[in-house]
Amino acid sequence: MLNKIQFHIDENEQKQQQIEMEAAKLIQRRNHEGVEAFKRYIPNLLPSLTSNRSRSATVFCNRLGNINIIDYLSGNVLYGLNPEQESKNHIKEAISRSSIIDVSGGGVCLQSADLLVILGLGLGYYLSDLIEGRKYKYIVIYEPNEDYFASSLSAINWKSILRKANEFNIALFLQIGKDASELYNNVEELNQNLAVQGMVIYKHLNSPLFDNLERFLRSHKWEEMASWVPNRSIKSSLVDYVPPWTLHIESGSWSDQYLDHSKKKENLAALAKYFPDLYKEFLNYIPRIWMPVANESGETNLCYESTGALFYDYSPSQDGKDSFSLFEQHPNKDGLILGYKGIKLRNYLHYRLVSECESIMSGLDEVKGTLPTSVRSLIFFGLGAGYSLNELIDNHSVDKLFICEPNKDFFYASLFTVNWDEILHCFDDGDKRLYLNVGDDGTNLTDDLLVQFQSVGPYVLANTYFYQGYYNERLVAAISQMREQLQVIIAMGDYFDNAKYGLAHTRVAIERETPFLLNNASSKISAGLKEVPIFIVGNGPSLDNLLDVLKSEKDNVVIISCGTALQSLHRNGITPDFHAEIEMNRATHDWATRIQDSEYLQKIRLISCNGVHPDTMRLYGSTLLAFKQGEASTVACAELHNQKMFAHLNHAYPTVSNFVVDLITTLGFQQIYLFGIDLGFKDPNYHHSKMSGYYQDNGQELYDYAGRNNTSILVPGNLRPWVNSKFEFKVSKAVIEQSLISTHSSVYNLSDGAKINGAIGLKSDDVLVLSTAELKKELIDTISLTAFAPVDREEFNQQFSKRFSNESLSEELLSLLHLLKQELKTREDIDQVISQQRDLLVSSLFRKKSILFFLLNGTLNYINSVLSKLLNIGDDDLLIEVGTTIVGSWGRYLEDIMSVMGNDEIGLDGSGSFYGLRRNIYLKTLSESHSIEINISPSSKIHALEKWCDIQKIKLSEIYGLEGRRIEFGIPTVELDQDAIYIVNSLSSLLPNKSKSRKVLLSLACVNPDVGISIIPPEFDQIHHSVNALYSAIEDFIVIPKLIVYQNNRVDGLKAVTEALQHYTVYETQDFLLLTPELLREDALILAFGDRLSYRPRLTEELLVVRVKTEKEFVSVSAQKRQ
């Protein structure tokens, strides 16, 4: 059935509009007359016609000028191209084969019937002829969808229908909004009053309840209907889904005797050779629900055995051709989400590369045309009978074809239609790739496809088309999730910085002998202790209403706080037994620091993944770690023999709540309660607990959360019908559900957020805890002392050095760089670079000499995705120009990566979150302990110091002192003071001096930036950075506060700065650089205000700026700085 709206409307937009305009007057008149007619004859139905409620279906005018129904949510139409004729033929054929049901109880064989019961009004095209025929005295129509009834006003002449029914004494009962579950009572009531002689059932539309009713009446007597209990919540399964409008098997010469069994035999032989498991399954396969049938021409259709409904129209092969032809003209390519919109990690090398590539590619248009003859990659979802697949193979050459058919009966039918024998030999001979996924209901589909694309290189997705052979509403969520996750496979990959820091952090944790989760951890915990309730606490908005439950039960249960929920618990006097973090970057340190209670943190055990930041670990009393599957650091470490005893968590992403749920279910706990794991919100402005660091003391948001995140996604709610969510939360929900599939635990969700399948929604009043404080203590001791153990660090270090040679890494990086030196002359050259890079990376993995694959897999997939995307450019000259630029940028970043791995191999991440607030806390502590004393020169600059003190909310008297370290504006002619920092506005002031060390802050006012597009950090900012560096352990440095620049504007003069200072070693924080003559020791990398310096391989113009993306934000920052 061709039910996509695109097939039904004219491709010429103007022509389609003309068709609609011509039909508009008739539709308007019918609507008006229909409403007036219902006012007169059936006034109780007026609310269904005049309500202002939102509708999910309405009418449209197709390319032939016929009125049809479209469903907004699915984009599908109800009927074919000729709804009126189809409807009239349908009822005629159906009634001709219908038997008459005796509803009088007399047991008489009736020759005619008084009553016609119609299941589904649709657009009612059949009604006029039905009334004119005067065959039935009573007509009862059940239509559960009020939108269909309202739409029928535009399609049929209700005025005439109701008038004639009245004239002919035909009683017309419209049961709108009702699903026929009351059929027995309705008919019996009618029978008592009017003595109905016989009844005929006509099912116009399919639905699970209509089908169930039809089957029951076919096999039971009417009296037995009294015991029929309809299930209003009944929903068809994936394989039981039947389109609402179908033909019946008796509408043509359909039989299994016309099936092409010789083709089936040939196809099975091919399966035996190439897919032996499928061969075994389908050799003697007997369809369960959908039976293959064929017409005299040999065209195969699919028949729903229990009702006789056909999946296709009269010509399945033509349906397949037309469906694929529409796709050929308008091929769908999802592409990839390659950018980064965040702030926290924007200084990473990978994201600087992303930003540079986006800038180069901005404004480039891809070729949007028909499906090319040669297709690199295509996902074919839904074979059906398989005719569309034949069209694809006959007319196109596909390098990589991924076929997914969730219904085994459909795949079986394809054995009679698809030239599998030819297809499989073609792919084998042509060195192509064919992937078959049969029978997956969507549960494992996404994971399976991700594995397939990882094996061929996920960048292939940049040129992957997606064809859906048919619509099945039970697959909508699975398909949507699959397409969303495939789109972000590159963006969420383990790019260079993440891999590098993850490995460094893991090695530090092992060096500190931090315990890791054991493979047999669950066996260390007794069955009795596994019954102790585990309260997992997230920072969703519903946490605010659940704090009382936590307070009352905290002594008898194990409480695990997740991420930013810790601040909310701290403010309410609740100390969790464990606190969980998942992020590898240093933001977790900054969030915990903002609690401003080190004694509180020392009472808590941190649980996290192997990549957690070592600075974060130091804040807590103790740390327990688990290897997180999928991380480069985990996979790399897994190759070492001594890792076999440690567990790997498979569903510990993308949020910290996923990690905790995965950990707790892996340990086998039986009573799990979810608090504040909302993964959604009813109010976009109330997105986290208001007790947490996302809100200021006055209750206002710390930043515009909804503005930075797309919170418009609607998902089913746990305690309400729907809630808003964002993509990351939607993925998180799906992954938690995967974790719960295999567990036997009782999981209760108290959160007023997204519904989590596998968890029971529970109100806070219904929480019942039977555990004791003694059991809780015993459990915590058991977890801490027996479920985790440290890695043998000496053995680990030996094996790590043996497996991952730095010399081999350098050689392979040089080989990759050499590969990029070749001149690009044709689009084939770009394609070759893509292949050669992938081949080099994979060969490195199999050589097992270096860590190249684990470091570069994500970033190289990104750059290959960009180059693959470029191949969609039609202009060859432009393609070569842009491709050469992209490859050149990538080469420079590869050189940077070589420098990082040579000079900062185990350096730790230095990113942060709300770093200004963290600096204030460090400064406050230093000032209150009188650890800072500042003098300023000349004295006229005291106002800048006063302004700084005012902003930082500290008293000038607490830090000002003539004997203190000095901030001096300008460079003296005499030798530099080692206890002073000098603020200068010119590069000439940085000329070499005779002092052994110097401390200088260089203001980029020296480059005379345009104030319309940039902001120079003012003097109070310069003082802030000066104090931060002056009280650090570094003796010789140049601090450069970054310029704040609007969007991608270029600032002239920055090149002179980079050239003058290119011989310095560069370190970076979020808003300033620190340059030194040589590499710093680890103990010098943390500054006075808690910043951790990050090594950067070279000084670039881009490092000297912070880019603000919106005008609103730029104006706001400008106003703050210019106060």
Q: Which amino acid is at 224?
A: E
Output the CA angle 151-154-159, nearest 5 degrees: 110
Residue holding tokens 């190439």?
274
Q: What is the mean pLDDT of residues 440-448?
A: 73
- Mean pLDDT taken over the chain: 89
| Percent of all residues in the chain with a pLDDT value above 90, rounded to a whole number | 64
Residue 476 has pLDDT above 60, yes or no: yes
Closest residue by Cα to residue 813 from 832, 837, 847: 837
Residue 1121 has pLDDT above 90, yes or no: no
What is the C-alpha separation between 720 and 704, in angstroms, rounded?
25
Domains plus CATH for the chain? 5-83+92-204 (no CATH), 251-268+285-331+373-474 (no CATH), 336-368+804-904 (no CATH), 503-790 (3.90.1480), 915-1121 (no CATH)
Residue 690 has pLDDT above 60, yes or no: no
Q: At what angle do helices 13-41 and 146-155 cross, to 10 degrees?
A: 110
Query: 840-858 burial, b for 16+ CB within 10 Å, e for fewer?
Result: bbeebeeeebbbbbbbbbb
Helix (H, G, I), strand (E, B) or coil at 70: strand
Closest residue by Cα to residue 505 from 613, 345, 407: 613
397-405, strands of its sheet edge to edge = 433-438, 397-405, 374-381, 464-468
pLDDT value at residue 333: 64
C-alpha dihedral (174, 176, 179, 185), degrees to nearest 10: -50
Q: Are the CB atoms for 251 and 483 separated by under 8 Å?
A: no
For residue 75, name the pLDDT band (cuts at 50, 70, 90): confident
Residue 233 has pLDDT above 80, yes or no: no
Strands 760-761, 746-749: pairing kind: parallel
pLDDT digits (tens, 9 = 90+) for 146-172: 999 999 999 999 999 999 999 999 999
Q: What is the mean pLDDT of residues 553-564?
A: 96
pLDDT value at residue 922: 93
pLDDT digits (tens, 9 = 90+) for 102-127: 888 766 778 889 999 999 999 999 99
Q: Which amino acid is at 85?
A: Q
Half-sphere exposure of 139 (CA within 13 A, CB side): 27
Helix (H, G, I), strand (E, B) or coil at 72: coil
Strands 1072-1076, 1065-1068: pairing kind: antiparallel
Residue 574 has pLDDT above 80, yes or no: yes
- DSSP one-letter code for 543: G
Q: How far is CA 612 from CA 618, 659, 780, 859, 1033, in A?
A: 11, 12, 21, 21, 25
Closest residue by Cα to residue 736 from 648, 670, 672, 647: 672
| Percent of all residues in the chain with a pLDDT value above 70, rounded to a whole number | 93
Largest CA distance in the chain: 123
What is the C-alpha separation between 575 and 569, in angstroms, rounded?
7
Q: Where are any strands of DSSP class E within 439-483?
A: 464-468
Can you give the length of the chain in residues?
A: 1123
pLDDT value at residue 566: 95
User: Residue 368: CB partners within 8 Å, gap ≥ 6?
Assistant: none
Q: What is the mean pLDDT of residues 578-582?
A: 97
- H helix intervals, 763-826: 773-786, 793-803, 806-820
Closest residue by Cα to residue 118 from 106, 107, 108, 131: 131
Q: How far is CA 326 from CA 246, 384, 468, 924, in A?
A: 21, 17, 11, 67
Residue holding tokens 């989760």?
517
pLDDT digits (tens, 9 = 90+) for 329-347: 888 665 555 566 667 778 8
Residue 307 has pLDDT above 60, yes or no: yes
Q: How far is CA 726 from CA 74, 531, 566, 714, in A?
A: 21, 34, 22, 8
Residue 557, Cβ density class (10 Å: 0-12 exposed, 13-18 middle, ≥19 buried): buried
Q: Which long-range contacts link 693-702 to residues 24+ away (Cβ below 8 Å)?
A: 693/564, 693/567, 693/591, 693/594, 693/914, 693/917, 694/539, 694/564, 702/914
Q: What is the mean pLDDT of residues 553-574?
A: 95
pLDDT digits (tens, 9 = 90+) for 1018-1028: 999 999 999 99
pLDDT digits (tens, 9 = 90+) for 20-61: 999 999 999 999 999 999 999 999 999 888 877 778 899 999
pLDDT value at residue 728: 79
pLDDT value at residue 490: 59
For residue 1087, name the pLDDT band (cuts at 50, 70, 90): very high
Residue holding tokens 């008739």?
26
For residue 909, name the pLDDT band (cuts at 50, 70, 90): very high
Q: What is the mean pLDDT of residues 551-566?
A: 95
Residue 692 has pLDDT above 70, yes or no: no
What is the C-alpha separation between 70 and 147, in angstroms, rounded?
10
Q: Are the CB atoms for 406 and 362 separated by under 8 Å?
A: no
Helix (H, G, I), strand (E, B) or coil at 848: coil
In DSSP terms, 1073 is beta-bridged to 1040, 1068
Helix (H, G, I), strand (E, B) or coil at 639: coil
Q: What is the mean pLDDT of residues 611-636?
A: 94
CB atoms closer than 10 angstroms to residue 1100: 18
Residue 861 has pLDDT above 90, yes or no: no
pLDDT digits (tens, 9 = 90+) for 415-427: 999 999 999 998 9
Q: Are the CB atoms for 499 and 348 separated by under 8 Å?
A: no
What string of H, E and C letters represents the secondary structure of 2-69?
CCEHHHHCCCCHHHHHHHHHHHHHHHHHHHHHHHHHHHHHCHHHHHHHHCCCCCCEEEEECCCCCEEE
For residue 188, name the pLDDT band (cuts at 50, 70, 90): very high
| pTM attached to this predicted model | 0.78
The alpha carbon of 572 is separated from its chain's Cα centroid by a whole number of angstroms, namely: 33
pLDDT digits (tens, 9 = 90+) for 747-778: 999 999 999 999 999 999 999 999 999 999 99
Q: What is the mean pLDDT of residues 993-1012?
A: 82
Q: What is the mean pLDDT of residues 360-367?
A: 74
In DSSP terms, 713 is beta-bridged to 725
The 3-state DSSP composition of the chain as helix, strand, coil percent (nearest 5) reads 45, 15, 40
Residue 483 has pLDDT above 80, yes or no: no
pLDDT digits (tens, 9 = 90+) for 364-386: 766 566 888 888 889 999 999 99
Q: Where are any strands of DSSP class E within 601-660?
A: 605-609, 622-628, 648-649
